[in-house]
A and B are shown apart, each in its own frame.
Chain A
Amino acid sequence: MEAAVGDARQRLEERSLAPLRRTGPLYYGLILALLLVIAWGAYVYFYQAQEGLIVTGMRDRLSWGLYISLFVFFIGASMAGTFVSAILRITQAGWRKPVTRSAEMVTVAALVVAALFVTFDIGRPDRLLFLIIYGRWESPLIWDIYGLSTYLVGSLIYLYAALIPDLAFVRDRLGDSVPALKRWFWDAFSLGWTGTPSQHRYLSIILVTMMILMVPVAVMMHTVTSWIFAMTLREPWDSPLFGIYFVGGAIFSGTGIIIILMAVLRKVQHLEEFITEKHFSYLGYLMAAFALIMIFFNANEFVTHAYKLRGHIALHLQETFVGTLAPYFWTYFWGGLILPVVIVALPFTRNVAGLVVAAVLVNIGMFLERYLIVVGGMHLPLNPYPVPTYTPTWVEWSLMAAGASVFVLIIAVMVKLVPSMAVWEMLEEPAGEGDLGEAQPQRAARTARGGVQ
């Protein structure tokens, strides 16, 4: 048994270090493709800054469109990362260890991209500064800035704290065999970690503090984002459910993104032994549970709105169910909510491929749901005018592609700098837990990792 565990550890070390040691041509091809899309996005952004937001499909009567839908979508994606990671750590779920790193990376990348889409939506970039200079604290937009910055910094701290032992592990294992810049990065950011009892104590305090803190901060962030809508005088957004609706939706779509990322990393980095079907199944159950919660929220919202039919709600429901927005709504409902639950529920589709399909469907559905919230809410005329129409232009699609490329690029760079799984946590796991075998003392882990306890 000891020998088997030792072999498993050896393979874990090799598998987690291999992507940091070698880079194939496919990776460079991916980076090049991403940079090309981002460069195109930069050109389009300057074009938009020069010509004004008139080059988008947005107009005075429908002033929020694809950018704000994507902002909400990526804010949602960021939720699951830190939230799921923190909840799994707090509950000491043994299966969390190969999952948490992916989740935390998604959070950081998604928050950066979410902030980008706000910048795109503002139009003139100098107006970002106005939010700070002239922003009034009574406005939910300003609360969102407080929330976003607090959440981003907290997520970075949380991600970084959990990385320190792994950075030291990489530093000690790869040493001189990598370029000087990478060596410097690992050396500087591992903070001289050698796994002394004091260092473990301090790290433990940081992780406990942050995991407890990040749950309310993440909930606050998403609730405040929902208030941008719920506190605006537009009937479709007039719902006290919006806060919890956004939090639920965020965990739902974010879990889907984690599943997709884990599947890609598992395949590309050959981590099948460590990221097993069990991990996908557990995340699939979480996703299915939140799909049911979302169905409940939607039913609750539509039934109460439809019963009262206040103001223009009849027009809103008509547009949503049978009007111009109906294709989006029914795709979201059947494809993004019902079908993923069916995939998770059926034993023969509950496998890695099936769950990745479900996760993709969930994210397409949730993007459409964000679009329905933003554009659907703006759809109702406040004055006796016809219903405004909105179609995103090539400028908006280009910046959407650029934003998504930035998201992938951040993660692609991260997986070349740090292990894709929390290796130190996996090496520390007590007897009978996890995927490294049945029994092994922690001392073995220390020995295996040359001082990292």
Chain B
Amino acid sequence: MAKRILLTAAATLLLALLSPAAALAQQPIPQLVLGVQPSSPVGNPMVVAGYLLDPAGNPISGQTVAFSTEAEFMNTLGSFEIGQAVTDDRGLAYVQYVPKEVGTSTITARFAGNDVFAPLTTSSPLEVTEGKATYKQERPFRIPGADVRLVVVLLSGVWSLYLLVTVLFWLISRAGDRPPREAGGPQ
């Protein structure tokens, strides 16, 4: 009897765990067509657009699409959000973007999914060329040593000294001449 209850519980748990994944797998995958010009001069405003369509090619309106690109800060590469827009009747969402670094980058559009459609991410390369912008940032801009290692070294130094002090506390406890039997009582 107990074995049967255990098996039923295990099967229920497995079903509970698998059901969201199964539901997700059943959701139709929409299409997200990214409209990005292949190249743009640095400093020039450009439009980054995305069409969100269902599998049959019909527009999906009223859904949020997030646009992002990669950016580097102090030797660490990460994702930088350009902006978010809601799709109109044509399934079109767009934001303005001003590229600030010369070189090749990637523009990414992401639809986070909803009750009907599964999430989707689409990317497209963008070549940023020299332009007439008054401000240009050469890539990579790096200050030697100014990265996460510096923070780790500084903090490790301080915490190492804390550790040393802890050892000294232990040495203090060993260096007293108080008889152990008197511990806790008045001397």
User: Which residues of A are in contact with B by a Cβ distance under 8 Å?
Assistant: 136-138, 143, 146, 150, 153-154, 157, 161, 164, 171-176, 183-184, 187, 191-194, 196, 198-199, 202-203, 205-206, 209-210, 213, 217, 450-451
Residue of A nearest to B74 (CB): A138
- A194 and B186 in contact (CB under 8 A), knowing A137-B151, A157-B162, A161-B165? no
CB-based closest 4 A-B pairs: A175-B186, A192-B176, A198-B175, A191-B173
Q: Is A191's CB under 8 angstroms from B172's CB? A: yes
Of the residues A138, A173, A210, contact of B165 by C-beta under 8 Å? A210
For B168, the chain A residues whose CB sits under 8 A away are 202-203, 205-206
Report how far A198 CA is from B148 CA in the complex, Å.
40
Interchain CB contact under 8 A, B176 and A183: no
* Chain A residues with CB under 8 A of B158: 150, 154, 213, 217
Inter-chain contact A194/B178, CB cutoff 8 Å: yes
> With an 8 A cutoff between CB atoms, is B164 at the interface?
yes
- Considering only CB atoms, which chain B residue lies closest to A201 in the complex? B175
Mark each residue of chain B from 132 to 171: 1 if its CB lies under 8 Å from any CB of chain A, else 0.
0000000000000000100100010011011011101101
Please give, as numbers and ranges, the residues of chain A lying within 8 Å of B78 by CB-CB distance.
136, 138
Task: Determine if B177 and A184 form an interchain contact, defined as CB atoms under 8 angstroms apart.
Answer: no
Please tell me if B184 contacts chain A, counting CB pairs below 8 Å.
yes
A137 near B176 with CB under 8 A, answer: no
> Does residue B114 face the partner (Cβ distance < 8 Å to A)?
no
User: Closest Cβ of chain A: how far from B187's Cβ, in Å?
Assistant: 5
B183 at the interface (CB under 8 A from A): yes
Tell me the count of chain B residues lying within 8 A, CB to CB, of chain A.
29
Docked Cα-Cα span, A217 to B185, in Å, equals: 39
A50→B85 CA distance, assembly (Å): 31
With A150-B155, A154-B162, A193-B176 given, is the CB distance from A175 to B185 under 8 Å? yes
Is the pair B186, A176 in contact by a Cβ cutoff of 8 Å? yes
User: When chains A and B are docked, how far (Å) is the Cα of A192 from the Cα of B181?
Assistant: 12
Pick the residue among A146, A198, A205 that contacts B151 (CB under 8 A): A146
Closest chain-B Cβ to A98's Cβ sits at a distance in Å of: 24
Docked Cα-Cα span, A194 to B183, in Å, equals: 11
A157 near B185 (CB under 8 angstroms)?
Answer: no
8 residue pairs of the A-B complex, CB under 8 angstroms, read: A136-B78, A137-B151, A146-B155, A153-B162, A175-B185, A191-B172, A199-B176, A203-B168
CB–CB A137/B184 < 8 A: no
Given contacts A146-B151, A150-B155, A209-B164, contact A191 B186 (CB under 8 A): no
Please measure, in the bound complex, the distance between the C-alpha atom of A202 and the C-alpha atom of B174, giving whole angstroms.
Answer: 11
A184 cross-chain contacts in B, Cβ below 8 A: 184
Name the A residues within 8 Å of B74 (CB-CB).
138
- Point out the residues of chain B lying under 8 angstroms from A136, CB to CB: 76, 78
A172 vs B185: C-alpha distance when bound (angstroms): 8
A223 vs chain B, min Cβ distance (A): 13
The answer to whether A203 and B151 have CB atoms under 8 Å apart is no
A193 lies within 8 A of B172 (CB): yes
Q: Is the CB of B73 within 8 A of A138?
A: yes
Contact assessment for B172 and A172 in the assembled complex, using a CB-CB cutoff below 8 Å:
no
- A196/B187 in contact, CB under 8 A: no
Distance of A249 Cα from B78 Cα, bound (Å): 35
Which residues of the partner chain A approach B173 to less than 8 Å between Cβ atoms?
A: 191-192
CA distance A44 to B73 in the complex (A): 40
Q: Which residue of chain B has the shortest Cβ distance to A150 in the bound complex?
A: B158
| Across-interface contacts of A213 in B (CB, < 8 A) | 158, 161
CB distance from B3 to the nearest CB of A (A): 37
Report B-chain residues with C-beta under 8 Å of the C-beta of A138. 73-74, 76, 78
Residues B187 and A172 in contact, CB atoms below 8 Å apart? yes
Beyond contacts A137-B151, A175-B186, A217-B158: 17 other A-B pairs, Cβ-Cβ < 8 A, are A137-B148, A138-B76, A154-B158, A157-B166, A164-B172, A171-B186, A175-B185, A176-B186, A187-B184, A192-B174, A192-B178, A194-B176, A194-B177, A196-B177, A206-B165, A206-B168, A213-B161
Answer whether A209 and B186 are a contact pair too, CB < 8 Å, given A136-B78, A191-B172: no
Contacts of A183 in B (CB 8 A): 184
Given A138-B74, A451-B187: A203 touches B164 (CB 8 Å cut-off): no
> Which of A146, A191, A450 meets B176, CB within 8 Å?
A191
Kindly list chain B residues whose C-beta atoms are within 8 Å of the C-beta of A198.
171, 175
Residues from chain A with Cβ under 8 Å of B169 in the complex: 161, 191, 206
CB–CB A157/B176 < 8 A: no
A210 to chain B, nearest CB (A): 7
The answer to whether B151 touches A202 (Cβ under 8 A) is no
CB-CB nearest in chain A for B184: A187
- Collect the chain A residues with CB atoms within 8 Å of residue B162's CB: 153-154, 157
Q: Which residues of A contact B177 (CB under 8 A)?
A: 194, 196
A213 to B187, CA, bound (A): 35
Which chain B residues border A206 with CB–CB below 8 Å?
165, 168-169
A167 to chain B, nearest CB (A): 11
